[in-house]
Amino acid sequence: MPFCPSCHAEYRDGFTACSDCNLELVDKLQEIAAATAPGQGLGLSATPVLTTQKMMEADIVRGMLEAGGIEAETWSVGVTGYGSGLETYRVMVRAQDAGEAEALLKDVVEEGT
């Protein structure tokens, strides 16, 4: 199913552009994520270190990573087509930073459980 990279609306096969945003549709979630972070450097090899439905949690974690010197981004991935309207937020880092990021976050994650 193609999705709009901006508003995350889902279209039926055969559509090529979002009627609201005039943007070319993409058909993979990863492509959406890349498209919603234009001009930023993590690229498609970025690795998620946290997946959450709370944007605030994602922002906090991203801030902690950046404070620790790790470049991080929050990618929002719209989950549509299941009647849920849920948004999932992923905190992404470069693949080579993933180990360090997980170590940095380990204490926090354990504290929350």
Binding footprint of Zn ion on the chain (CB under 5 A): 4, 6-7, 18, 20-21
Q: How far is the CB of 42 from Zn ion (least distance, A)?
A: 23
Q: Hey, is 83 helix, strand or coil?
A: coil
Rounded CA gap, 10 and 84, in Å? 13
Q: How far is the CB of 18 from Zn ion (least distance, A)?
A: 3
Nearer to Zn ion, 70 or 78 (CB): 78
Rounded CA gap, 74 and 2, in Å? 22
Rounded CA gap, 62 and 26, in Å? 26
Nearer to Zn ion, 4 or 42 (CB): 4
Q: How far is the CB of 58 from Zn ion (least distance, A)?
A: 22
Nearer to Zn ion, 5 or 97 (CB): 5
Nearer to Zn ion, 20 or 66 (CB): 20
Selection from 103, 88, 94 nearest residue 29 by Cα: 88
What is the per-residue burial (b if ≥16 Cβ within 10 Å, else e) of 4-17?
bbeebbebeeeeee
Q: How far is the CB of 21 from Zn ion (least distance, A)?
A: 3
